[in-house]
Structure 1
Amino acid sequence: MTRLKIKFSRKQADIIRRPFNYELEVNEGTPRSGKTTAGHFRYARYLIESPDENHLIAAYNQEQAYRLFIDGDGTGLMHIFDGNCKIKHDEHGDHLLIDTPNGTKRVYYKGGGKANSVGAITGMSLGSVVFCEINLLNMDFIQEAFRRTWAAKLRYHLADLNPPAPQHPVIKDVFDVQNTRWTHWTMDDNPILSEERKQSIIQSLKKNPYLYKRDVLGQRVMPQGVIYGLFDLEKNIKDNLVGEPMEMYFNGDGGQSDATSMSCNIVTRHREDGKTFFRLNRVAHYYHSGAETGQVKAMSTYAVELRAFIQWCVSKYQMRYTDVWIDPACRSLREELHKLGIQTRGALNNAHDVSSKAKGIEVGIERGQNIISSGQFLLINHSEEEYDHYYFLKEIGLYSRDDNGRPIDKDNHAMDEFRYSVNVFYKKYANF
């Protein structure tokens, strides 16, 4: 058994020790504020006290639920209860089975980011639910999760999130209608961040008022600076591919410490009112960040995993693909893919594009904004959690401009290859 040695801030210690006299507790604030670590230990306390046997951790997908709260980067439930827990599986799914002084507890971990996610918890009886990044979860899933705890003996819900836009439906439809205790967090609440590190983060975000207010001050901010702010979680996300499939192609952007991102795109043809038009459907996504996971992979490893992703998409959608477009700067990745028999082309990265209103990458950004607002761009969910749109949705909510109006070179790996895919779409189908 390993012994956790953790220094808590005053706020973290207060949160952990509070009585369980609210049915919903919300920890909202900046990234790296220590709110999730406090949540790990608060919830561990709850599990020891609760007389209920079955509980749930929910995130956008199951992988995130495991990473954020079961493992928790070394402070999650499996480490707190080390020696007294094990990963198990039963008819309700994967869970952490924990032996506590108050009986055995089953903590299921599931994805709740899609419209069909609700089926995974229908019929379950739960004592509590933890909502990780609740603003990214499907609202029907959230509401059903609250219904699953109606018969609990010690009913409890814990949610965490970075500040959403002020009009986000989770505020009005969840926080404002429940018996809620809300706690605000900033970087000052995290005892492991040095003043030097905090100042470094502040300086890097000062150029962008939106990110500074959101990620330093922890404020809910209207996303005026977000480049693709017109993206609509209902209008631009569908559960099924509609129309006549015309072409499948892939776009990728690579890095080792930075993220490697590749999308599968299917163009569909539609006829309405006697007119023909096309849609760009983003149907699957591979994403891995060496910086975020702490696991840096060789380009040869990325190539093998990207080949598996391409093969998965071909099998899933029963289509042959036309091209694999890779950022021209990623020469080593292209070479590794060529060794595996996958021929690539240099992505259309707007390096020499000029339009009447823009030039360079602004041409691609303008095109992306156009097809998002017109409804010609859709994210298509699939039933499997592998290769879903979690990282695309995170980046599209953060990709923004600095004070001088220039796109910030941050949170943009999926955004770059999205732009490449839009450029291909425009080149072939924009005149229809």
Structure 2
Amino acid sequence: MNIPAPFSENQMRFFWGCFDHWFNVAEGGKRGGKNVLITMAYCTILEKHPSRIHLIAGVSTATARLNILDCDGFGLKNYFEGRCREGTYQNRDCLYIQTATGEKVVLVSGGGKAGDEKLIKGNTYGTAYITEANECSETFIKEVFDRTLSSPDRKVFHDLNPKAEGHWYYKTVLDFHEAKQRENPAYGLNYGHFTIADNMSISDEQLRAVLATYDRKSIWYARDILGQRRAAEGLIYDMFDFTANVYTVPPTAMQAVSTRTIAVDYGTLNPTCFLSIFDDGETVRVDQEYRWDGRKERHQKTDEEYADDFMAFMGDNPCAAYVDPSAASFITALRQRGVYVMEANNDVLNGIRRCSTLISKRRLLVSKACIGLLDEFGLYRWDDKAALLGVEKPVKENDHAMDALRYFVNSLPDWRFEHVQA
């Protein structure tokens, strides 16, 4: 069995508090040990809990499995190794566990979509652990509270990464229970805030390497490292320096030592953008761009015309392309011309975070000739109205080259962001 690293004093306070409180919430930065901490408390409580039916959940069943059943090798399957088996119960995925107080059935559920709450109706759960609770639907969270009301030893666990201050979870869940706790110290809320500094499995050397990948003035540092609730506002890439991140003359050996890829954001009425990107394994350089704005030009091109333009843009040196996955007919037109096309990963927030890391460390550079892309760096903004509702998304304007760039950066391996240095 895997044995976790020692807990910090902060983690130990929360761990012991789980046995005396019914609602336990662990919030904070990434790699703060929240999952391992709650899983250890949850397993210990399961061992002697009087109820037979229990619940674990996440945005999806895959998330619940990854964060709770596996949990970097410290999950339920590790804790109850030799005493558990995966199966089904009432046509739902579950884990059967042999404990000191008999067999337990732990159902596994997704809770991120409207209607997921229907999947957990019909049972009373002795305990419930929801990972990334503020990513789940509000209705699902409420249903879990309701489904544990008659437990003989009610225990609800949430772990979460920080969101904007106005996020619904704070307003409708945490603020409510914190107010109840202030009114009555015996109410039963156990709240803990954790950062990467609480993770005793991370060495000082590893910690320094992680911190070096962040711009300390960025929202990502505030959230991921300090675990603060911060709203995204203003320019998205405010760390982009129009001197340090821009080059006029490309390095002599750039094409010889780099891999070239073309990233594509495809538009019908909106502009279509191609970016010619060179990557030498350390620095990403955007060297050329193509842009066609059907509205501005008063002529919308067909897929075949765009594919012809792409071939001309690519020139005599064939390369792979990352293309907006929604552009199915354009992808087909390119493949018919022999282009190796990969459908892009359109994870917006993670892509923005990754681009921010490379920009702040001057590992993403743009040719002065890419006028449209450079213009967008000065215009691409967070949606202030959505932020008031706790929702983070960019304004859908001045984002076509931004999207294409993000498609490429999202394709890079994780180690490019873990070890990037200034």
Give the residue type in structure 1 aligned to 2:205: E
Query: 1:35 offset after TM fit, Å?
Result: 1.7
Report 1:241-320 matches (<5 A). none
Equivalent of 1:216 in 225, 230, 233: 225
SS in 1 for 2:96: strand
* Deviation of 1:189 (Å): 0.9
What's the CA shift for 1:362? 3.1
Alignment of 1:8 with 2:13, yes or no, is no
* Aligned twin of 1:89: 88
> Runs of 5+ in structure 2 lacking a partner?
178-187, 238-268, 283-320, 345-365, 411-422
SS in 2 for 1:140: helix
Distance in 2 (alpha carbons) for counterparts of 1:324 and 1:83: 49
Secondary structure of the residue aligned to 2:213 is: helix
| 8 Å CA contact 2:128, 2:144 repeated in 1 | yes
- Consecutive unaligned residues of structure 1, counting only runs of 5 or more, are 229-245, 259-302, 314-319, 327-333, 376-392, 400-406, 421-432
Specify whether residues 8 and 413 from structure 1 end up closer, same or farther in structure 2 by C-alpha distance, changes over 3 A only: farther
1:50 and 1:124 map into 2 onto residues whose CA distance is: 16
TM-aligned CA deviation for residue 21 of structure 1: 2.6
Amino acid aligned to 1:203: A
State the distance in 1 between where 2:153 and 2:385 align. Answer: 48
User: In 1, distance between residues paired with 2:343 and 2:144?
Assistant: 46
State how far apart, in whole Å, the 1-side matches of 2:127 and 2:405 are: 36
Cα–Cα, structure 1 residues 60 and 342, in superposed 2: closer, same or farther, change >3 Å? farther
Could you tell me which residue of structure 2 aligns to residue 263 of structure 1? none
Q: Which stretch has the larger CA shift, 126-135 or 202-211?
A: 202-211
Instruction: Report 1:177-196 matches (<5 A).
Output: 177-178=176-177, 179-196=188-205
Matched-pair contact (CA < 8 Å) for 2:22–2:154: yes
CA distance in structure 2 between the aligned counterparts of 1:175 and 1:84, rounded to whole angstroms: 35
Match of 2:75 in 1: 76
Q: Matched residues in 1 for 2:209 and 2:51: separation?
A: 45
Residue 199 of structure 1 deviates from its aligned partner by: 2.3
- Contact 1:9–1:190 (CA under 8 A) maintained in structure 2: yes
Structure 2 distance, partners of 1:342, 1:204, is 34
Change (3 A) 1:79 1:324: same
Aligned to 2:374: 359
Q: Are residue 55 (structure 1) and residue 70 (structure 2) matched?
A: no
Identity, % of aligned positions: 27
Q: Is the deviation greater in 29-38 or in 117-126?
A: 117-126
Is residue 324 of structure 2 the alignment partner of residue 324 of structure 1?
no
The answer (yes or no) to whether the contact 2:51–2:152 under 8 Å persists in 1 is yes
**SS in structure 1 at match of 2:123:** coil
- Seen in structure 2, the aligned counterparts of structure 1 residues 359 and 226 have a Cα distance that, compared at 3 Å, is closer
Which residue of structure 1 lines up, in the alignment, with residue 359 of structure 2? none
SS of the residue corresponding to residue 359 of structure 1 reads helix
Residues 358-410 of structure 1 show CA distances to partners (whole Å, capped at 9, x for unaligned) of: 636638x74xx69x8999xxxxxxxxxxxxxxxxx99x67x9xxxxxxx9xxx
Q: CA deviation at 1:222?
A: 2.3
State the partner residue of 2:110. 111
CA contact (8 A) 1:323 1:344 kept: no
Q: CA RMSD in A?
A: 4.6
Partner of 2:31 in structure 1? 32
The answer to whether 1:154 aligns with 2:163 is no
> Post-superposition shift, 1:41?
0.3
Which AA in structure 2 matches 1:214?
A: R
**What SS does the aligned partner of 2:377 have?**
helix
CA contact (8 A) 2:2 2:73 kept: no
| 1:204 lines up with 2:213 in the alignment | yes
How does the TM-score come out when normalised to structure 2? 0.59
Aligned residue number for residue 19 of structure 2 = 20
Letter in 2 for 1:181: N
Distance in 1 between the 2:91 and 2:80 partners?
22
12-21 vs 177-186, which moves further: 12-21
How much does 1:103 deviate? 1.5
Change (3 A) 1:89 1:59: same
Tell me the CA shift for residue 3 of structure 1: 5.3
Summarize the Cα distance change of 1:123–1:225 in structure 2 as closer, same or farther, 3 Å threshold: farther
Whether the 8 Å contact between 1:55 and 1:105 is mirrored in structure 2 is: yes
State the Cα distance separating 1:216 from its structure 2 match: 2.1
Distance change (3 Å), C-alpha of 1:353 and 1:7: same
Instruction: Rate the CA distance shift 1:321–1:199 in 2: closer, same or farther, 3 A.
Output: closer
Counterpart of 1:417 in structure 2 is 407
3-state SS in 2 of match to 1:38: helix
Q: Cα gap change, 1:374/1:324 in structure 2, threshold over 3 Å: closer, same or farther?
A: farther
Q: How many residues align?
A: 298
Query: What is the aligned partner in structure 2 of residue 41 from structure 1?
Result: 40
Q: Name whichever of 10-19 and 29-38 sits farther off.
A: 10-19
In 1, the alpha carbon distance for the partners of 2:11 and 2:404 equals: 34
Shift of 1:345: 8.8
Larger Rg computed on CA atoms: 2
Deviation at 1:206, TM superposition (A): 3.2
